[in-house]
Amino acid sequence: MLIYMNLWIPSLGEVEMKPPVFDYLTPSSLTEAAQVINETPGAMIIAGGQSLIPALNFKLAWPSALIDIRNIPDLDTIQIDDDEIIVGASVRHCDVEKDQRIGKRHPIMHKAMAYVAHSPIRNRGTVVGSICHADAAAEMPLILVLTDGYVTATSVDGSRTIAARDFFKFHMTTSRHDNEIIQSAHFPIPNSMGGYSFQEFARRSGDYAVAAIACLMTLDNSGKIEEVKIAGCGISHRPIRLNSVEQVVVGTTLTENDVSQAIEALAESVTSPDDIHATKKYRKYLAGKLLSKSLVEAKERAQKRELS
């Protein structure tokens, strides 16, 4: 059953911190939701609302309608297959945070979750919502990019998958079509014998990252880096894979000189301009320090796993 309401809260005083007028729709199935968003120009999806509600209150978003997907069955599930973790559109951050299976199978995803905002926000906000919000300094988009993940988009025209490298276009901008609903996010499970590291610096605990670096690494029998994936957020207009850095360190034993060269390669990828949080110069310095720590920690973890 589709519930249809029109919501409006009047302004209180001179400072208006209330949302604009919008219709509120609650479809009971994904098919119905796809039909509604296709037939309602300007509609937006809401699940947790921890990014959208502030945007509404500040008049940064003016949807014609909010389509609440929380009553749709099966969107609140976490599915763990042999090679990937599938997170439904209404799965909350805290659901991932408390899932011990994810801690064992995908430890870097579990580690990054601790940096996502604060407990009250993690208790309401959704993983897919954060991915769709696409803040360039957010943690879950970074992990999706790092692991070569993807999302599944559904519309009246059918479903399609969008690789993370193609999904994030710019800060708060994705390749999702206006009539599409992101049904799930897919996080490939890293090599169980590999090491990992997630390093972030924020001005205050729970803030978006000024800079963050994540790394996955496996070693060969001689102790050289056989495979490595490195990504960053807060340093560019979207979360990015640091391919040039990967090329520098792969095949090395990660000597002090190797790390120095990796930091030099990273500098070209730090493109965020000066802002109220940091200058571009400081971000380059900070990202280099985080990269160094991430590489060393990932290698140490990989060595311990090989010995265990």
Percent pLDDT > 70 in the chain is 94
Task: Please tell me the predicted confidence (pLDDT) of residue 308.
Answer: 53
Mean pLDDT of the chain: 93
Q: Predicted confidence band at 59 (pLDDT cuts at 50, 70, 90)?
A: confident
Q: Is the pLDDT of residue 271 over 70?
A: yes
Q: Is the pLDDT of residue 292 over 60?
A: yes
Contact 108, 190 (CB under 8 A): yes
Q: Predicted confidence band at 307 (pLDDT cuts at 50, 70, 90)?
A: low
pLDDT digits (tens, 9 = 90+) for 65-87: 999 999 999 999 999 999 999 99
Q: Predicted confidence band at 95 (pLDDT cuts at 50, 70, 90)?
A: very high
Task: Please tell me the predicted confidence (pLDDT) of residue 5.
Answer: 47
Task: Please tell me the predicted confidence (pLDDT) of residue 170.
Answer: 97
pLDDT digits (tens, 9 = 90+) for 119-166: 999 999 999 999 999 999 999 999 999 999 999 999 999 999 999 999
pLDDT digits (tens, 9 = 90+) for 184-225: 999 999 998 899 999 999 999 889 999 999 999 999 999 999
What is the residue extent of each domain of the chain? 3-68, 78-188, 195-307
- 264-270 average pLDDT score: 97
**With respect to CATH, is domain 195-307 assigned 3.30.390.50?**
yes
**With respect to CATH, is domain 78-188 assigned 3.40.50.300?**
no
Q: Predicted confidence band at 275 (pLDDT cuts at 50, 70, 90)?
A: very high
**With respect to CATH, is domain 3-68 assigned 3.30.43.10?**
yes
Q: Is the pLDDT of residue 9 over 60?
A: no
pLDDT digits (tens, 9 = 90+) for 10-27: 444 444 668 889 999 999
Task: Please tell me the predicted confidence (pLDDT) of residue 32.
Answer: 97
Nearest CA-CA partner of 79 in 186, 181, 164, 183: 186
Percent pLDDT > 90 in the chain is 86
Whole-structure pTM value: 0.92
Task: Please tell me the predicted confidence (pLDDT) of residue 8.
Answer: 45
Report the phi/psi class of residue 158: left, alpha or beta, with left for phi > 0 and alpha for psi in -120 to 50.
left
Instruction: Tell which wins on pLDDT, 1 or 131.
Output: 131
